[in-house]
Amino acid sequence: MLDVDILLLCCVIITMFVALIREWFVPELTVFFALSSLVLFNVLTPGEALNGFANTGVHTVALLFVIAAAVSKSDVLHQLMKRVLHQTTNLSTILCRLMIPISSLSAFMNNTPIVTMLIPTVQQWAISNKIKPSKLLIPLSYAAILGGTITLIGTSGNLVIHGLMLDKGLDGFSMFDFAYFGIPLTIVGILYMVLFGHRFLPDREHHVAELQDTERSYMFQFIVETSSPLIGKTIKEGMLRNLDQLFLIQVIREGKRIVPAPNDELIHPEDILIFSGSADGLIQLKAIPGLSLLSDGKQPSLPENHALVEVVVSSTSSLVSKKINETNFREKYEAAIVAVQRKHKKIRSRIGDVVIKPGDTLLLLTGKHFLSRWSDSDDFYVLSPIKKIAVRPAYERRIVIGVLLMIVLGSAFQLLSIFKLCLIGVAILIFSNVLTMADVKKAINWNVIILMGSSIGIGTAVEKTGLAALLAGGISFVQTAVGLAGILVMFFIVTLILTEIISNLATAAFMFPIGYSISLQLQLDPSMLAMVTAIAASCSFLSPIGYQTNLLVYGPGGYKFTDYVKVGLPLTILCMIVTIGLSMYKWLM
């Protein structure tokens, strides 16, 4: 008979998984609610529930966010990519030039800001060299993911596992313990993409360049003003039929839709006209007298020196699951949402009634200060290239590079813990005025911190109730039938599936206690299962929702869900074979 606490925990975890899959709430809120319910049901004490927020790995991730902000501010990445990407049309050569430096960088930096900053650069370069961005953006994401497996600080999941090992009284991992696995995985991954994987990438026109050059298709809504000179004219007479880069697809009159809109249809006051077309077409349409652009259900009231900016909604955004007219977007960001593009789907409802989902691409009409204020928002990733990048003093770049070298070398020679090295690094950046305290506050992604701390609390409950030992016993029971290699394959696949469903952070925290229990029952080195957990939690190549970088390139690359499966499945199998093979060789031979 199962213990009551185990039954309660199973119910909470199942509900949490369903909520994450159905996107009822943002991930960090879902996991925090699950953790709170375990406290209410007395499965965990308040101290046990909040212990995850005292985890060293969580604190280290927060500090790394600050260091990543300094790298971003110093413009090191843009300068590097200008040197790396040259004029060439050979895709294999391009992929090598792209993936090798990106994977190297992501070994020492948070990969999300790397990909965010480089999407516009890669897009512009691809378009200028007559290459479809869809051929480059998934490799950009995969290179960042693979590079994150090389070092302890390469990805947040590695630090979560490291912190949990320290909590168990184990030694944890050093900076380059992951390199034994990460370097072969990265080499295999790059070779796969260069030799075979690029053949599975789509070759689509759908892409993002600078908004004035983009071909992305949006839905725009305009209202006919009561004094419009178009009133009483037919659609054809009003010159609304043969617009360049725009097509009038329907008219909404007093709540009724006229689809398709015939050429001889008379235009009435307060008709809502729905156009499909590009951002360039929007600029053309705004010049027609008597029409007012509708955004979030209202007419924009922004300054004349406005700009068009394109953003992708993040998976942790506070905007998710809300209607546009409920987000208070205009007041908060001083910007108006004028169009929404969703993964090849046409948005036919009124703009204000559209429910925002992760990965949606929003076209914004903004004021002149929008990019400087909100380019690092947690709610969305800005994709529009920022044409004027402030030139930072050369000494700032030298300080940033010096801090990175200090962390890498200090950890490699085990002079101090990774947390202390990062703490010193952040202090140097602040005292040297590379970053202000305002920069530090903005840099830390609190959504990720809440998700990490809450996930560790769930993992504590899995171990405390005995669920981890129970699951480990079930897996260990089949050892005689499948052998140790079979158990590792099963464990890797379960971890992989959870990563694609929820997130790598939550998966790492959930699977670590199970792997630890398996290690005890089979008398294995706990480091072995801990490493397999960390690598499997990072190998998210099968969907756009399993890893933030995959979601980032989803909209800009014009990808479909199946594109990730086609390209990512062979790579996932290769990573599993390499990881399990190296694990058995390292710890069992």
Q: What is the pLDDT of residues 75-125, one digit of tens each?
A: 666 667 767 766 666 888 889 988 998 999 888 877 777 787 777 778 777
Residues 6+ apart with CB under 8 A from 134: 201, 202, 203, 204, 206, 207, 557, 558, 559
268-294 confidence digits (pLDDT tens): 998 888 887 766 666 667 778 888 877
Write down the pLDDT at residue 283.
66
377 and 439 in a common domain = no
* Secondary element (H or E) of residue 221: strand 218-224
User: CB–CB of 553/559 below 8 Å?
Assistant: yes
| Residue 286 φ/ψ, nearest 5 degrees | -65, -20
Residue 348 and residue 242 in one domain: yes
Same domain, 361 and 223: yes
Quick one: which H or E segment has residue 341?
strand 335-341
pTM of the model: 0.68
User: Could you say which of 328, 362, 382 is where a domain stops?
Assistant: 382
The residues with which 276 forms a beta bridge, in sequence order, are 219, 247
Q: Is residue 50 part of a domain?
A: no
Statement to judge: residues 359 and 294 lie in one domain: yes
Identify the domain boundary among 358, 382, 406.
382
Same domain, 113 and 191: yes
The alpha carbon of 251 is separated from its chain's Cα centroid by a whole number of angstroms, namely 37
Of 211, 365, 351, the C-alpha closest to 280 is: 211
Q: Report d(CA 143, CA 568) in Å as an integer.
A: 12
pLDDT at 82: 65
Residue 497 lies in a domain: no
Is 488 inside any structural domain? no
306 and 188, same structural domain?
Answer: no
pLDDT of the residue at 531 = 96
* Residue 39: predicted pLDDT: 94
pLDDT for 203 equals 80
- Among residues 70, 76, 8, the alpha carbon closest in space to that of 38 is found at 8
Rg (CA), the chain: 26
Helix (H) and strand (E) counts for the chain?
23, 9
**Around Cβ 202, how many Cβ atoms within 10 Å?**
17
Could you read off the pLDDT of 323-371 as tens digits, one per residue? 888 888 877 887 878 778 776 565 656 677 788 888 788 888 777 677 7
> Looking at the structure, do residues 232 and 370 belong to the same domain, yes or no?
yes
CATH assignment of the domain containing 306: 3.30.70.1450
Alpha-carbon torsion, ordered 291, 295, 301, 303, to 10 deg: -100
- Where in the sequence is the domain holding 286, given as residue range(s)? 211-382
Q: Which residue positions in the chain have pLDDT lower than 50?
A: 1, 206-215, 300-304, 385-389
Number of domains in the chain: 2
CB 290 within 8 A of CB 224: yes
User: How do residues 403-425 score in pLDDT, each as one tens digit?
Assistant: 988 988 888 787 888 889 999 99
pLDDT value of position 317: 81
136 inside domain: yes
437 and 354 part of one domain = no
Distance CA 381, CA 388 (A): 18
Please give the pLDDT value at position 420.
92
Query: Nearest 10 degrees: CA dihedral of 295, 28, 533, 480?
Result: -110
Amino acid identity at 570: P
Phi, psi of 134 (to 5 degrees): -65, -20
On whether both 167 and 95 belong to a single domain, the answer is yes
The answer for residues whose C-beta is within 8 angstroms of residue 495's C-beta and 6 or more apart is 507, 511, 532, 533, 536, 537
Domain annotation covers residue 308: yes
Same domain, 378 and 234: yes
Beta-bridge mates of residue 218: 277
Same domain, yes or no, for 366 and 288? yes
Cα 371-388-70 angle, rounded to 5 deg? 70
User: Is residue 536 included in any domain, yes or no?
Assistant: no
Query: Is 101 inside any structural domain?
Result: yes
Residues present in the chain in total: 589
pLDDT in the model for residue 181: 96
Q: Any bridge partners for residue 340, and if so which?
A: 362
> Which tokens sit at 210?
């600078």
Confirm whether 528 is domain-assigned: no
Question: Considering 431, 446, 461, which residue would you say is the last residue of a domain?
Answer: 446
Asked if 123 and 265 sit in the same domain, the reply is no
Using the CB atoms, write b or e for 63-75: b if 16+ within 10 Å. Answer: bbbbbbbbbbbbb
Contact 329, 319 (CB under 8 A): yes
| Contacts for 555 with CB less than 8 Å, ≥ 6 apart | 208, 312, 341, 343, 359, 360, 361, 383
CA 166 to CA 455: how far, in whole Å?
Answer: 17
Cα–Cα distance measured from residue 281 to residue 260, given in angstroms and rounded to the nearest whole number: 20
Q: In angstroms, how far is CA 568 from the centroid of its own chain?
A: 16
